[in-house]
Amino acid sequence: MNIFHRSLNVFMNRCIHIAMLSLALACGAFASTRGITFIYQPLTTLGTDQDTEIVVTKIPVLTNTVEENLITHIASPNRLLQDATADVPDSNLLSLLHIRIEAELVDRKHFKVTLDLRDMLPTDDYDVTPLQVVAGAVKALRATFDEHPGLGSYELHIRAKEGDKTDWSKHTGRYTSKKKKR
């Protein structure tokens, strides 16, 4: 093998190594780590023997490390552990009422969070008002941000139904997570 072929061979091997390394780095950039963490959700006591109310409680979730997903899980369905006589398919008031939470990272540690009420179902069946539901959602958001101080802060926006005359401004605005005391 002459020097030209050897140099070409070395050059091609290096190109292949660089291409493989680039591919590995690109795949790593899209990979995420799954783990169990905690969020808060506004749950309904409907289907229990308790008086109907909204209970904001800590819920374990299996999620990836994408922070936006952690925030949107607040509105995910939640089938609580139940005994054989119970059949409550979802206890999360937000998902039951078709309320969505959208989260967008706008700065290193600041999110734009939107509570989307456009598809919200009537709350009469749950013996709560829309204002109570939104207050529960805000409480769950704040508790989740406090649970994960690394999330930083968020600006809450509410996207209301067309023609909704409710003044939601009391629930909108900026919130910065409080450091949890350990």
What tens digit of pLDDT does each residue of 85-97 get? 777 778 899 999 9
Residue 67 has pLDDT above 90, yes or no: no
Cα–Cα distance for residue pair 106/17, rounded to 1 Å: 36
Residue % of the chain over a pLDDT of 90: 44
Residue 124 has pLDDT above 50, yes or no: yes
Pair of tokens at residue 48: 């229990």
Query: Cα-Cα-Cα-Cα dihedral of 27, 29, 35, 38, to 10°?
Result: -150
Cα–Cα distance for residue pair 50/147, rounded to 1 Å: 27
Residue type, 54: I
DSSP per residue, 109-151: TEEEEEEE-TTPPPSGGGT--HHHHHHHHHHHHHHHHHH-GGG
Lowest-pLDDT range of 60-69, 93-102, 131-140: 60-69
pTM for the whole structure: 0.77
What integer pLDDT is reported at residue 143 of this predicted model? 94
Lowest-pLDDT range of 79-83, 133-137, 138-142, 157-161: 79-83
What integer pLDDT is reported at residue 102 of this predicted model? 96
Residue 127 has pLDDT above 70, yes or no: yes
Position 142 confidence tier, pLDDT thresholds 50, 70, 90? very high
Alpha carbon distances (Å) from 149 to 37, 67, 180:
13, 12, 7
Q: What is the overall mean pLDDT for the chain?
A: 81
What integer pLDDT is reported at residue 63 of this predicted model? 80
**What phi and psi values does residue 84 have, to the nearest 5 degrees?**
-65, -25
Residue 130 has pLDDT above 80, yes or no: yes
Task: HSE, CB side, 13 Å, CA atoms: give it for residue 1.
Answer: 7
